[in-house]
Each structure stands twice: as C-alpha cells, then as structure tokens.
Amino acid sequence: MNTNKLKAYAPKARVDFMEAVKNRAAKLGIFEDHISDITIDGDSAIIEKEVYTRKQGQQRNQLVKRIEALGTHDGKFVHKYGFNQFINETAFTWFNRLTAIRYMEVNEYLDHGFRVLSKAEGAQFGEGFEILNSAADVADDLGLNKEQIIDMVLDGNKEEELYRTLLLGQCHKLSEAMPFMFEKLDDATELLLPDNLTKTDSILKSLINDLPEYEVEWTNIEIIGWLYQFYISEHKDAVIGKVVKSEDIPAATQLFTPNWIVKYLVQNSLGRQWLATYPDSDLKEKMEYYITPAEQSNDVIEQLKAITPTSIDPEEIKVLDPACGSGHILVEVYEVLREIYLERGYRLREIPELILTKNIYGLDIDDRAAQMAAFAVLMKAREDDKRIFIRDIKLNIHSIQSTENLNINQLWADLDLDGNKQTGSMDDLFAEPPLELVEPTKESKVYLDLLRYLKEQFIDAKNLGSLIEVENQYLVPLTELQGKLADKNQGDEPIATLAAGALLPIVEQATILARQYAVVVANPPYMGSKYQTPLVKKHLKDNFKGYEKDLFSAFIIRNLQLTREHGELGFMTPFVWMFLSSYEQLRNKLVEDHILSSLVQLEYSGFDGATVPICTFTISKKYITNYKSNYIRLSEFKGVKNQAPKTLEAINNRNCGWFFETMPDDFKKLPGNPIAYWITDNLRNVYVNSPKADNKSTSVVGLQTGDNDRFMRFWYEINISNFSDNFESTDDTIDSSIKWVPYNKGGAYRKWYGNRDYVVNWQHDGHEIRNFKDSKGKLRSRPQNTQFYFKESITWSEITSSWKSFRFNEKGSISDVKGQSAYFDVYESMVSALCWLNSNVVEVLTKVQNPTLSFQSGDYRNLPLPELNMECIKYGKEAIDIVKEDWDSFELSNRFTVSPLINTNDRLEDSYQSYLLKGTSAKNRLKEIEEHINQYLISRFNIDNDVRAYVTDEQITLKVNPSYRYGEYNLERFRCDTIIEFLSYFIGCYMGRYTLEKPGIMYAKEKNSMFNLLNDQNRFKTFPADDDGIVPLADEDWVFEDDATARFREFVKTVWGEDYLQENLDFVAESLCLDAIKAKKDESSTETIRRYFSMQFYKDHLKTYKKRPIYWLFSSGKAKAFECLVYLHRYNEGTLSRMRTEYVTPLMGKLESRKNILEDSKATASGAELRAIDKELKTIEKKQAELVTFDEELKHLAEMKISLDLDDGVKVNYGKFGNLLADVKAIHGKNPEVIK
C-alpha cells in the first residue's frame, strides 16, 4: 500500500480535529483553564448565556465528569491535564468514526445505500452530500423523525443542521452493530461533533480531498491501521526517548506491522498448526509466506507424530493477539481461518460469525486502537456476509480497562445477584466504603470474591495491559459470571443494568486472559527499562524476573503462558534478544524449553516505523531434541523495499544464500546461546576448541566518575606540569601532587593504538572522586577494580562503528566504564590476543555474539581466545609501533614532537610528497601485517569459506591513510588537511607552545608563568615566539605588521629558506583551496593565506580540538574590525589590558588614518575607483562603530583582571569573557553572559 498521502494527511488531521473539538467544547463552557457554570431550569440549560435543552445540559455534565475522571490520579485532580486528555480522546473518537464511515461508504457497506460524507464516487468535497439529497429516504432507516427531516429539507436554510442530524443518526444506527466505535443514542460525545461540517472549513474537506478514493486504497481495510499509525506519529515522536507517562504508553509503543510480516507470522503459526495435522491441505498453496519445515531426522519425526493431533475442529481454534493495535494481525487470522473453514466444508455465509465469536480474540490498552481492530475484523467479515451487521454479534476484542475507580462493594450491592435488599453488614472490603449488605449465598460469594480479585489485578490495567495475569482456575466462574452480568445488562432494573455495564468489560477481559489459546500472535510493545514508568518497572521486576529488560521480553513470556501446550506463537520484536547478554535468560527459555521454529532477521533499516533493528519469528510451545528450524537473514539487503521480496525469494529458493536450516540445540554450544543460525560447524568449532577470553585474561569495568564534566578533561586543556602518565599503581598517587592522569574512554574506530585524548582527576588516590556524594550523602562515583588502574591492557570502545577495534593501552592510565579493558599477566600474551582481536575472524565472531553496535566486557569474556604463534606476535608488536608513530605525528597526541612536513627538503611540496610516501608505505605494511594474521588464522581453523583474509584500505586505521580518514581515497582533501595541520603547528610555534629548537611541547603551563625564562634560555631562537601570546588575524595587510599571515611568511622562510619562499607559499595557498576555502580569481597566495586565517582557521581549530580550543578567538564582531588569537596557557590577568593598549587602541587610529586617506583620494578618483572607495569607507565606518563597542567591553573586563584556573576546563573558562570571544555558545554551552 502506498501510504504517502495517508502520512501527509493524518498528523494534520489530528491537529485539525483537536482544534475543532476544542472550539465545540468552548461553546459548552469547557475551557483549558476552567469550566463555566451551568444552570438547568425546567427543559432548558443555560451556559454562558446560551440556551440549550435540558438533555444537552445533562450530556454536558457527563463530559465534565469525564474530564474529572481523566484528570484525577492518586486522589489529586488537575483540570488542565484532564482537559487535554479529554480533547485528545474525543478528537480521536470522531476521527475514528468519520474514517470508518468513509471506508463503509466507499465499499458500499451502508445498508441504505447512500453516501454520507461525499456525493458520489470520485467526487470532491463541496460538490454536495448524497445523503442530503436523499434525506427523506434514509430517515426511517436511521431511526429519525421523518416529518422533522422533511421540514428541514423544505426550509432551505437548515442544511448544516440537517446534515448534522443525519450524520448523528448514521452513528446511532451503526452503534447497533458496532457499539465499540459508535455511540448509542444520547451519548454525550455527540455534543462535540465539530461544527461547520458542510462549510468550506469543514474537517471533512481534507478527509475527502486529500485522500481521494481513486488514489488511496479505501477498499483495503489496512488503510484504517495506517491512518491510526500516522495520526499518532507526532505524539509518538514527542514521547519517544523519555520516561513515558501511562497515558503516553500507547503512542510510544504502537507500531503498525507491515503486511508481509503479518502474513509471515500468521501463516507460520496458525497455518503451520493446521498443516501439521493436514499436510496435504490446499491451504499451503494459498500462503505465500509459509515456510515448509526443514527435513527432520527419523527420531524427530516420531516425536512430532506423538504430539500432533490427527484432526482439528476449526471451531476450537482460538487465536489471540494480546496487543492487537488496529487489528492488522487479526485480519490476516480471519483470512487464514476462512480458508480453513471452507476446506472443511462450511458454507461461506456461516463462516464470518463463527470466526468472530469462536476464534478471534484481541486485547489492547488503547481504547481507540481496540475500536479500530474490532472495526477492521468486522469489515473483513462484511466482505463475506452482507447481513453481518444485523446478526447482533459480540466480538471478543476489547480495550483493557482499569478498575481504579470502581467501587466493587457498591456495584455488588447494586447488582443484587441474589435478589435481596441491603440489610446485613460486612467489615472492611479493601478500604472501600462499608455498606450494609446481605450475606451472599455460597454461590454468589464466589463471584464477589472474584470481583475483588479482579479489582486488585486490573487497577493498573492501562499501564500493564495483557501482562496482567488471571489464573486459569478462574475461567469457569468468570464464564458463569459473564453470562449473569450479560443478562443483568439486558434487564429492566436500571441500577442493576448500570452496575452490570460497569463490571462486564472487566469480566470479559479477565476471561480472555484466563484462557489458553491454540495460537498467540503479536507485535508486542517495545520499551526498555530506562523509559518505563516506575509502576511498570516494578511489575516486571516482581513478575518477570530475568525478562524485565524490555516490555517485549516480558510479553513473550506472558504469551507463552497464554498458549496451550503444543500451541504456536508468532512475534515481531527488536532483534537484540538474539544476542545481548541481558536477554540470555530469554534465549535459554526459548531454546531449552520450546522450538524456535522459524525466524526472519531484517536488515538494520528494514522496517520504516521502528527505531531499532527488527526480527520476526515463530515458536512452537514444545521441545524436541535436534529439531531443525528455518531462518532467513536479510542483513545484506538494505532498505524497506527489499525485505519482503527477498524473504519470498528465500522461501522459494532455499539455496539463495540467505536461507539457513539450523538446529536450535547448536546455539547451546556457543557462550550465551546467541541465535547464530548462519555460522558453519567449522566456525562454531573455533569456540568449542579454544579457551575463552575469560580464562586467559581479566576484563573488568572501569571508573565511573559520577560527573565527567567535573572530573574529566581533554589533556590539552590543563596545565601540563600537573599531568603525569608515569604512575604504575594507585599507591604511587597517594602522596603525589599530580592531579591529572590519562583516562581511557574508548573513542572512534582505531586499531592497535591511540584514542588517548582524556585525563581524569586522580589526585591523592582519587580523593575527590572517592568522596563525591549527592545532597543525601550517597556516593555518586564508582571507583571500582582499582587494582587494575595504571596497568597496561587491551582496550576497546563500548559503542562501536561498523567494525570493532582493539588497542594496546600503555601503563599509566585509568579506564572509564566506556573504555572497556582486558588485562594480562604476560605482555606477549596480550600482543597475541590483540592480533586475534583485530583479525577478521573476531570481526565475524563478534557479529555472531552481538551484531549490535555495543560490545561490552561480557561480550569479550565470551569470545574464544587462542594463543597465536611467535611470528604473529612479532607482527603485532610491529603493528603497534606503526600506529603509535602515526598517532604521535598529530598534535592531538601529548607526545607530538614536530610537524612531519619539517625536514631537510628545500621545498614544502617535496616535504609533503615525502610525508605522503612514508604514510602510504606505513599503510601498505600494516595492511600486509593484518592480512598475514588473518590468513594464518583462517588456515589454522579451516574457515576459508567463512572469513576472508583481505582487509580494505578503509580498515587500516592510520590518520596518514586517506581511505580510513575520510571513508574514501580523497588525496586533495588529505593534502589540504595536512597543510591546515601545518598552519596549526605554525601558530603553536608563534605562540610558544612549540619551538624549532626542540621537539615536543615547549610551553603548556598557565598564566605565562616562567615563559620569559624560556625566552632567556634561547628556547625560541630560530623562530621567536610572540611576546604576549596574542596573535592578530587581520583581513588586510596594512593593519598589523606582526599578524598571523606576516609571521607565517617569516616562518616558511625560516624553515625552507628564501629561494623557494614564493613557491612554498603558492603550495600552501593551492592546498587550502582544494577543500578548506574556495579559490578567488586574481588573488595572491599571501592574500589566500590571509583569508584562510581570517575566515576559516578558527573553525578548523574548534573541529580539531573538539570544541575545547587552546587558541581563543577574541573578535569584535561580524565586521571583523579586530580579531586575535590568545594562547590559553599564556593568558594572564594582564592579557586583556595588553590587547587593548598594543592592538585595539592603535587600530582605532589606523582606521581613522585609512579613512582620511580614502576621503582625500576621492577628489581625483574616476567612477569605478570612486565606487570602490565609497564601499571601503562604509566598511571602515562599520568597523569603527564595532570597535568602539568592543573596546568598551574590553576595557571593562581588563579592569576586572579576570583569572583562569585551567583545572576548570575550557568550557567553564570560555564563558568568563562576555561577548569578547567568538562561538561562546558552541563551546561554553550558553549564550555570552553580560559582564557587569
């Protein structure tokens, strides 16, 4: 079904319907903030000076009571909350009703034969309504007063009133067959039927015009489910990713099941059960998604024969969808059951009623969804039986109701099953108001006790739904009580009728939950424990221990309880349960106690509506040793459109390559029982014949600080003299004044070595972290497994990319909870393990154990860990060295020494080519190493059909490898980035961070402390550092003599000499124009470099330093009157004063002088020259105005002598300078503060 128009219409319709209902409610004095008074006098009711009938006044009071009920929780009423829920509920009700009528009129299901919402097939809104033209003809059919209808017709001015009367009459008529969706006569919701139904602003207009019947499949009942899905889509988006309130659970968990998956589920559960008894049935040919069971061993065949019935009575097949939503699954159940009945010789006209009353059962917590499910099934029956609407059929599809507001004692008294008056007395009845009651008879007491039991079970029904357990022992008394209540509900005692009406839905839903079914099929709700309400979380913990990780997991267990022995089940769920350790108990349950009969694993993006990857599977509630099941793996077929065709292809061609036959018993051979159905015996034997990683190493969870913003920094933010990576144990830190140590926090995809970005405060053995408590004295941090702190290890990231990557972590660091680590006693064993872990074999095995993006310590411990030979270990050591050298060649490493472009060559381009050649050589060598290790392992385990030795260039994790760095071999971008990195190195040399005299960081302390001493020691002799750590970024060459561009020219000349200076500058400019900035015609190389420093350098710096810059951009504003970089580690209390006196104040004079020169030159300028002068003058005037404002704030802040504590980090310190700094919000997280 093409759903594009439905997707566009339904969310907008939700807004329109809610607004229309609000407007209607306002006319009745019902507002978001109050309820207007009402006066009922005689036959009239007065609201806001408007006169209504007494009946309308009474109906309005019913609406107010509904708001009070919806707004009351735990005895507290919040009007606004109740009002909003009420408007949402009522708008949804009318949306359901009108779309249902539209479906019926298009399909000609309305008994009178006239269209209600349109004029004719294909007609647009505005062309009239067929029912208006035939109003007198339909009056009797709709139970309306024909004379009144004729009078309205003849009046000629009452079209709106007439149409409203006819539409409500149609609703009343439909309530006879569909009381679940259409109100009975005098129902209060008719007051809120929106106004202007026949006018141009009618809510019907978009329903008719935006969903034309010749473009939208109104003949397919599936349309009702899709409309519901899209109607709630915006509400769903708003609540997803949060702790969900009880009223939002339906929106958060409803997911319309695609048609092909519905067919697969029903055909391989209900259809499978029928074909097990009748293998020659023609039904098989009619079920395109049915998967023929795999060929079994003789022993399995004999076991199956023993438990398979020789015959099945179709009328005894009970099928339940316990989370039925809009009924898509139940519609397919109907289709398959109809074929079964026809096969057994039933007449078509008698089948619908049998299916609806004997076979199909559905439950949902959402009232509107259950309405549509019942409607959908009834419409399916209408296709086969034109008289189904008059057969007075009671469907077994219900919205589960709460008993929270039911007073069982009062209702029991009103019900008066024994026919007695209230004369006796009874004690406390579950804290309800005591009533004087006749002691019930022995028979009736069973029912009273049962009602009390149901009261307790269903108090939280709207949160828990079908997870509520009703013991099977109550089925008989429940069935009996249901019959008695049905009789009372049809009786002539008003009080007893009302009581029975209140209790009957509770007993009906309890009866359904007390049964066991031949088949249970569901797309259960998905909601992880993180987003569950406390009530739901507690219920799962108390009643579904071990399965409480997600709602769907608990639902699977509950549905197994609802299924009879040897019954069949089908589900669509996230596929995380197949692999994650948190679902191991569920896997054990399914594999050890039941048969996972078939499964289809969708590709990650294979289901449009889900935010998680999906699988769909069937279960037989029985266990047979060595049973062989069917599996389809769609992992290689991206996108929604591929999933159904590729599933069909696999069903029809088992040799396609993605169809597998595997015994679930084989899953038990793997640690954690992952549902790894696609692996071969040889790959499985890698586990069987190798020791587990857990036996050869120790993998533990690392430090949890409790507040990373407080205790963690990037290493380059801090005073480098307060950092050490030389500690070997926590004991070494006890008396040390060193505050910061390396902190391993995982990071991006990188093998062998690297991702050494962070530091953590572990001063005095982590005293601050160890004593970090909340306001109640509870420890917030978790300094766990401290005996492993500062030990060398193998580490990896908990959240990974498409590929896993493992790294050597040197001594001296602490691991975070996200930086998973494994520790070894012997270095060579660790290198051996690292070679194994970075191999393609483990890449395949990790996807067997856990194909999600998460890889935790538990996953590592379950891996096999064979010992590799000495040759592989030698290769592993070389790989570590190669990647370590690569990591340290970039300035984000604290062991960075010098730009790789600075060497003995005379020309910068030659330096670049040498660097590129060296990088390519390193990449090729590392690739050779990895492929050699892969080939060794493939040969050793005889898995050449399972794993390839080849490693793609993108998997060689060197920053000098463009294919890894960019995901493609982009040499132009690499050249540009290399020059950008060189320019950053130059800025570092100019600032004094680096020097040409000595490799490594020269100065990264704070407050410019001891910098002059370094100067005195000639540490910056070859290329002098700036005196004050302030580097202006001028956009024109006349502004400052020592700006970044001028000094860069000097730097290039110093490094490579004057002979090739221009050629080298040209190479820099050309490189920048390859990716960083666009080339400009007739621009010199120096001008291009100047433009880069002015426009782009700081953006690149922020990106490189992950929004924690060490060179801060002080900027006057958009006009760029003044901009300069200040080196964070050299900033001191006098920096702003020096900036003002040495740069800003002189600049004011220069701008004025430049302005005067331009004014004087106007006298001799020609037309084009004059325009250019005027343009520059306007620019200067803007800069002057901007500079005055900047200077005022600079002066104010300079006088404050702001001091920085680098331990606070860049994010905090960057926010101390008001509007003086650029990109404050991006770095500090908030807009600039007004400094007073």
Q: What is the 3-state secondary structure (H, E, C) of 632-676?
A: EECCCCCCHHHHHHHHHHHHHCCCCCCEEEECHHHHHHCCCCCCC
Q: How confident is the model at residue 431 (pLDDT cuts 50, 70, 90)?
A: very low
**Predicted pLDDT at 1167:** 82
Question: What average pLDDT does this structure show over 206-232?
Answer: 90
Give the neighbor-by-neighbor strand order of the sheet with 1111-1115. 1030-1032, 1123-1127, 1111-1115
Q: What distance separates the 2 farthest-apart alpha carbons in the chain?
A: 118
Task: Give the model's pLDDT for residue 442.
Answer: 82
Task: Count Cβ neighbours within 10 Å for each residue of 849-864 and write b for 16 or more, e otherwise.
Answer: bbbbeebbbbbbbbbb
pLDDT confidence of residue 75: 77
Mean pLDDT within 834-848: 95
Residue type, 774: D
Looking at mean pLDDT, say which of 143-147, 190-194, 319-323, 439-443 comes out highest. Answer: 319-323
Segment (H or E) for 283: none
Q: Which residues pair with 620 in a beta bridge?
A: 568, 595
Band (pLDDT 50/70/90 cuts) for residue 608 is confident
Average pLDDT over residues 177-195: 84
pLDDT of residue 252: 47
d(CA 9, CA 5): 6
Asked whether residue 15 carries a pLDDT value surpassing 70, the answer given is yes
Confidence of residue 631 (pLDDT cuts 50, 70, 90): very high
Q: Residue 851: pLDDT band by 50, 70, 90 thresholds? A: confident
Residue 1227 pLDDT more than 80?
yes
* Angular region, 174: left φ>0, alpha ψ -120 to 50, beta rest: alpha
- Whether 952 has a pLDDT exceeding 60, the answer reads yes
Return the pLDDT at 1038: 84
**For residues 92-107, average pLDDT:** 94
pLDDT 10s digits, 1062-1100? 999 999 999 999 999 999 999 999 999 999 999 999 999
Residues of the chain with pLDDT > 90, as a percent, come to 79
| Range list of H helices, 1017-1082 | 1044-1056, 1061-1072
* Cα first-last separation, the chain: 63
Question: What pLDDT band is residue 418 in, cutting at 50, 70 and 90?
Answer: confident
Position 273 pLDDT exceeds 80: yes
Model confidence at 310, in pLDDT bands (50, 70, 90)? Answer: very high
Q: How confident is the model at residue 1016 (pLDDT cuts 50, 70, 90)?
A: confident
User: What is the average per-residue pLDDT within 343-357?
Assistant: 97
Q: Indicate the pLDDT class of residue 609, thresholds 50, 70 and 90.
A: low
Cα 963–964–970 angle (5° rounding)? 30
Confidence check: pLDDT of 293 > 90: yes
CB neighbours (10 Å) of residue 471? 11
Question: What is the dotted CATH code of the domain comprising 246-400+517-678?
Answer: 3.40.50.150
Cα–Cα distance for residue pair 1132/1099, rounded to 1 Å:
24
pLDDT of residue 867: 96
380-390 mean pLDDT: 95
Q: Kindly state the average pLDDT of the residues 840-856.
A: 88
Predicted pLDDT at 429: 33
Predicted confidence at residue 275, as pLDDT, reads 98
Centre a 10 Å sphere on the Cβ of residue 805 and count the other Cβ atoms it contains. Answer: 24
Amino acid 1134: pLDDT? 96
Residue 702 has pLDDT above 70, yes or no: yes
Whether 416 has a pLDDT exceeding 90, the answer reads no
- pLDDT, mean of residues 708-725: 97
pLDDT at 606 over 90: no
Q: 539 pLDDT exceeds 70?
A: yes
Lowest-pLDDT range of 113-127, 633-647, 885-899, 943-957: 113-127
Regarding predicted confidence, which is higher, 71 or 481? 481
Note whether 1110 and 1129 are within 8 A (CB): yes
Average pLDDT for 745-772: 96
Tracing tokens 């708001």 back to the chain, one arrives at 67
**Helix H or strand E encompassing 596:** strand 595-601
Distance CA 1213, CA 1198 (A): 15
Please state the domain extents for the chain. 4-219, 246-400+517-678, 408-457+469-514, 693-950, 970-1228
Burial class (CB in 10 A: 0-12, 13-18, 19+), 1154: middle
The pLDDT assigned to 818 comes to 86
- When the pLDDT of each residue in the chain is averaged and rounded to a whole number, the result is 92
pLDDT at 426: 38
Residues 6+ apart with CB under 8 A from 918: 900, 960
- 994 versus 440: the higher-pLDDT residue is 994
Residue 1128: is its pLDDT beyond 50?
yes
